[in-house]
Amino acid sequence: MSLVNFTTREITCKIVYYGPGRSGKTTNLHYIYGRVPDSRRGRMVSLATQTDRTLFFDFLPIDLGQISGFSTRFQLYTVPGQVYYNATRRLVLQGADGVVFVADSQARQLDENLESLQNLQSNLLEHGVDVRTIPLVLQYNKQDLPRELILSAADLDDALNFRDVPSFSADALHGLGVFETLKAISELVLKKLAAGTAA
């Protein structure tokens, strides 16, 4: 997908929030949605079951307006976390410029995190994308839970962050770390954009 279009002067970034079910991807998007002025956000599309589980995907377009003469848009997507929606995940992942991997910090969820991370890798590969080259940040969500239930950011880094990408502790429900994560992934994506146009 074309990231920077010098002719139409548009920058469009597609960022996908990935992670195991119930790790807080949609919560991230909700929080962001809540902070974006009305005029700047599109309608958040969320296809959810009655129990609020993402069935298909969430989509939040953000219009950042004119930046350096470029009309800049971010499109934030989440994937359904449950294992059996892999086809959807792969579809959403198509053309992603950056991925935020939202991990569930709860100790008992570690295996799910790992599994989802592997799933991300294989789905990217299906699209011919190497997980080592795509901008990726990790978010360790639910760090607000009691200490005894969760792994520390350092532990999670050891367990998940073997590529040494930026990682953030977060409490998406209350917004802690949400924008930090978004900023980090945006920066990575935009930097790659600069490099990409140079190529």
Partner 1 sequence: MTNALNPKYSFDTFVVGSANRLAVTAGHTVAENPGAAYNPLFVYSGSGLGKTHLLMAIGQAAKKAAPLLNIEYMTLDEYVEAFHASLAAGQGDTFRRRFQNVDVLLVDDVQFLSNRKEMQSELLHLTEALQVAGHQIVLTSDRPPPEIADLDERLISRLSGGLVVDIGLPDYETRVAILRRKAEERGARFAPGVLETVAQAAAGNVRELMGALNRLVAFQAVNDTTINAETAKQILGLGSGAAAAAPGDGGAKPAPGGGADEFGDFLADVTVTVGKAVEAWRARVGEAVLRWEGEGYRTQRLEALLEEDTPASVDKAIAGFTKDVERLKELEAEVAELDPQAAGESVFRDPERLSEAEKAAAKVREGAAPPPGPSAAFPLDAYAVGPSNQVAVSAAHAVLEKPGKKYNPLVLVGKSGLGKTHLLNAIGLELARGRRAVVACLSTQAFIDELITAIDGNRVDWWRARYRRATALLLDDIHLIAGKERTQEELFNLFNLLQDKERQLVFTAPAAPNTLTGLEERIVTRLEGGLVAEIKEPDREVKRAVLERLLTQQNVTPDPTLVDYLADRPADSVRTLVGAVQRVITAAAAGDGPLNAGLAREVLEGHAPRDTRRSSGFRTSGLVVSSLGGIKSREKMVWEWADVSDRVIEEFR
Report the distance separating Cα 139 and Cα 161, nearest Å. 10
Least distance between partner 1 and beta carbon 105 (Å): 17
Closer to partner 1 by Cβ: residue 119 or 143: 143
Q: Which stretch binds partner 1 (CB under 8 A): 50-58, 104-112, 120-128, 180-188?
A: 180-188
Closer to partner 1 by Cβ: residue 48 or 114: 48
Least distance between partner 1 and beta carbon 30 (Å): 5
- Here's the x/- map for partner 1, 23-62, by CB under 8 A: it reads as -------xxxxxxxxx-x----------------------
Least distance between partner 1 and beta carbon 38 (Å): 8
Please tell me whether residue 87 binds partner 1 under the rule CB under 8 A: no
Least distance between partner 1 and beta carbon 4 (Å): 7
Cβ(124)–Cβ(167) below 8 Å: no
Least distance between partner 1 and beta carbon 98 (Å): 12
Residue found by looking up tokens 């990575």 in the block:
188
Of the candidates 61, 50, 62, 54, the one whose C-alpha atom is nearest the C-alpha of residue 25 is 54
Report the distance separating Cα 48 and Cα 187, nearest Å. 30
- The neighbour count for residue 186, using CB atoms within 10 Å, is 20
Q: Which stretch binds partner 1 (CB under 8 A): 110-118, 121-129, 146-154, 166-174?
A: 166-174
Please tell me whether residue 169 binds partner 1 under the rule CB under 8 A: no
Least distance between partner 1 and beta carbon 147 (Å): 18
Which residues of this chain interact with partner 1, rule CB under 8 A?
4, 6-7, 9, 11, 30-38, 40, 64-70, 72, 171, 173-176, 178-179, 182-183, 186-187, 190-191, 193-194, 197-199
